[in-house]
Structure 1
Amino acid sequence: MSTLLGPIRQLGIVVDDIEAGMKHWSEVMGVGPWYYNPQVPIEDYTYDGESYQPHNSVALANSGDMQVELIQTRNDVPSMYRDYMQKGLRGLQHVAFWTNEFDKDLAMMLDKGFTVKMSGKVGENGRFVYFAEEHHPGTCIELSEVLGPKGRMFDLIREASQDWDGADPVRPFPDLSKI
């Protein structure tokens, strides 16, 4: 377990083709089922303090307690995913720590000298920040709030993976307002 913010809970992988990525991970790696959202509804999104409207597709699945996130950018707004791809990189772009104490953990990271590069919110109590510092080329840290519907969705995804038999490998994201 990390001594920074507890266990790493998610591996964020930037891909050129999310459908091909889900197929590879489910058929070759045996990871699934995948919960797919072709356009994640990100609110209050900022990059370097400026507001933008990103269009990202995301797919989530678990392997044990580790969540795997596939990310495909669909427009050219500034983002750390776009920066990563412009460097010619694909693959592990970030590791995420999950928190129920977002404000406290964010303050601790800022006190340690980390700086926020990208931030936003997905649903109620679903804030996230990506820190600018890359301590390994191309790989940064995300701090993700998992209270409320977002946390319940992550639980649902983990539970669906536990006895997954390979059937129905791609599923739509659940409606956060209903979980």
Structure 2
Amino acid sequence: MIAAMAPSPIRQIAYFCADVRQSAARHHARFGSGPYFVADNIPLRLSRHRGADAPLDHSSAYGQWGDVMVEFVQQNNDGPSAFHDMYPRNSGRFGLHHVAIFVDDLAAAMDAWRAEGSETAFYGEMNDGFGFAFVDTRDVYGHMTELYEGREQLTDFYDFVRRSAQDWDGSDPVRTIRFE
């Protein structure tokens, strides 16, 4: 067990899909989750797959499903990625990709997971320098584990999504937002 990680509740469950809007709408219709906030072509200033620079263009839909955030993510470009590690391009396969947890120190957490045998499949930074990583935990859990520090900008976004679901009447279940 990675003692530095405990306790680390799951903050998000994420699914890789072909179309984030369609997947979010279906999930809402079946489970009442949402509303979903879709960010298209999320800008990254740094994108590394297994230690090598690899551009990643992706879009995500974020919504609330009970006590946890649910994300649907699609990759918009070809090339290697943590998503294609699990679901090869043009395979027609999609499904659970990762769960996300907050960590106190991203670099230390990545090192701790590596020491336990789980390599970093992806490291990225948003344009504002906010970093996140996918640790390859498929052999242990059957999916990746996303790590990010619980910085205010992230926790504020999680709070925004959660608050949006409170007393929501179900209208306008899929909405567009922008990440700069």
Query: TM-score if structure 2 supplies the norm length?
Result: 0.85
1:20 maps to: 22
Question: Are residues 162 and 17 of structure 1, via their aligned partners in 2, closer, same or farther at CA, if it must alter by over 3 Å?
Answer: same
- The share of aligned pairs that are identical, in percent, is 26
2:102 maps to: 98
When structure 1 is superposed on structure 2, of 116-125 and 26-35 the one drifting more is 116-125
When structure 1 is superposed on structure 2, of 122-131 and 49-58 the one drifting more is 122-131
RMSD: 2.3
Structure 2's unaligned 5+ residue stretches are none
Aligned residues: 175
Out of 127, 135, 140, which is 2:139 matched to? 135
Secondary structure at the residue paired with 1:40?
coil
1:153 maps to: 157
Question: Are residues 91 and 67 of structure 1, via their aligned partners in 2, closer, same or farther at CA, if it must alter by over 3 Å?
Answer: same
Partners of 2:175 and 2:145 in 1: how far apart?
27
Query: TM-score if structure 1 supplies the norm length?
Result: 0.85
Out of 55, 59, 62, which is 1:60 matched to? 62
Partners of 1:65 and 1:106 in 2: how far apart?
26
Q: Show structure 1 runs of 4+ deviating over 3 A.
A: 2-5
Question: 1:137 Cα shift?
Answer: 7.2
Indicate if the aligned counterparts of 1:34 and 1:170 stay in contact, CA closer than 8 A: yes
Indicate if the aligned counterparts of 1:125 and 1:150 stay in contact, CA closer than 8 A: no
Secondary structure at the residue paired with 1:39?
coil
Secondary structure at the residue paired with 1:8?
coil
Question: Are residues 44 and 125 of structure 1, via their aligned partners in 2, closer, same or farther at CA, if it must alter by over 3 Å?
Answer: closer
When structure 1 is superposed on structure 2, of 58-67 and 102-111 the one drifting more is 102-111
Question: Are residues 118 and 175 of structure 1, via their aligned partners in 2, closer, same or farther at CA, if it must alter by over 3 Å?
Answer: closer
Aligned AA (1:39):
N
Partners of 1:170 and 1:119 in 2: how far apart?
28
Partners of 1:125 and 1:10 in 2: how far apart?
21
Indicate if the aligned counterparts of 1:125 and 1:149 stay in contact, CA closer than 8 A: no
Indicate if the aligned counterparts of 1:14 and 1:70 stay in contact, CA closer than 8 A: yes
